[in-house]
Amino acid sequence: MSNVSAAYQATKGSILDVDHDFYDSLTEGKAERTLIATHTVPLRNGLAWEVPAGHVLRIKITEGSQVGDFNMWNLHNPRERMWASRTRQLQRAHVSTYDRLWSTLPYLRPMATIIDDTLADYGVDEDGGRVHDLLGTRCDPYVNRLLTGEDFDHHCHSNLVRAVAPWGLTEFDVHDVLNIFQCTGLNNDDKYFMKACPARKGDYLEFFAETDLLCAMSCCPGGDLSVDLWGPDARDPLETCNPLGVEIYRLEDNALDGWESPKVAPYAGNHGRQNPTTDWAAIKRERCS
């Protein structure tokens, strides 16, 4: 493993300097919380739901191992959505406790912070695999058609497209995902690999909503990814597919003392452009010359 310093580092008091004590205080058993909503994401399908700012979202394994492809938008402005690539840079390529999911430009703020993760101790396995992946993106029917010559309408991309339609969003709003419970890495040829999901019944990943959120998730049609989806050993992995659970908790007001939703990035957005001016004297001189 390289010991080269990370490109983006937290300085004291910066927005990357996460208050561990505060987020620890919001976890189960440390803060009074009330379960206000539960959802089930059906196997090989998708679902969308809302999470108010200041609430806790838990994604959990309810039956058997299963990977979930996760998208997130500002509930009131879907142009602001989760930015997987910048999150990889500011946080990690595989996220866990205290990592934040960041939004796209020009907003660039934390949309959610991970506060609890039952797989936090998974670390790096013997193949270099890690969990909760931001390296890869969702499976989609376009790649499937290219690789197999067949159409299949329940890839994660399609599941997410159907899930967000009731909110007026379209395929163009679906974006690169957080692959929850997915174990991935890069091999010696610097190529992306996927391994069987290590999560088991009862495992969960928990977020604190920093803003009002619209969330969507697909139960990957690859199930726990223990079966090859493409290549000579590919077969239908239906027997490895399971639903996923969603829980939303309201925190008591005193748990959030001192907290406020992050502001959008303060950059003015001029990008070096000057306000247009009209030099009428120069125009008159040019016409008279």
Q: Each residue of 126-143: pLDDT tens digit?
A: 999 999 999 999 998 888
Residue 260 lies in a domain: no
Residue 4 lies in a domain: no
- The rounded Cα 226 to chain-centroid distance in angstroms is 22
Residue 261 lies in a domain: no
At how many degrees (to 10) do helices 156-164 and 141-148 cross? 150
Residue 146 lies in a domain: yes
Residue 54 lies in a domain: yes
- Percentage of the chain beyond pLDDT 70 is 94
Residue 193 lies in a domain: yes
Q: What angle do CA 84, 262, 76 make, to 5 degrees?
A: 75
Residue 1's pLDDT band (cuts 50, 70, 90) = low
Residue 288 lies in a domain: no
Give SS3 for 84: helix
Residues 6+ positions from 69 with CB-CB distance below 8 Å:
138, 139, 156, 159, 160, 177, 178, 179, 180, 217, 218, 220
Residue type, 158: S
Domain boundaries, position 224: 20-252
Query: Cβ–Cβ contacts within 10 Å for residue 45, how many?
Result: 18
Residues 6+ positions from 13 with CB-CB distance below 8 Å:
none
Q: Look at 51-60, 147-156, 242-251 and tell me which has the smallest mean pLDDT.
A: 147-156
Locate tokens 């999150």: which residue? 87
Selection from 55, 18, 50 nearest residue 210 by Cα:
55
Q: What is the mean pLDDT of residues 143-151?
A: 87
Residue type, 199: A
Residue 12 lies in a domain: no
- What total number of domains does the chain contain? 1
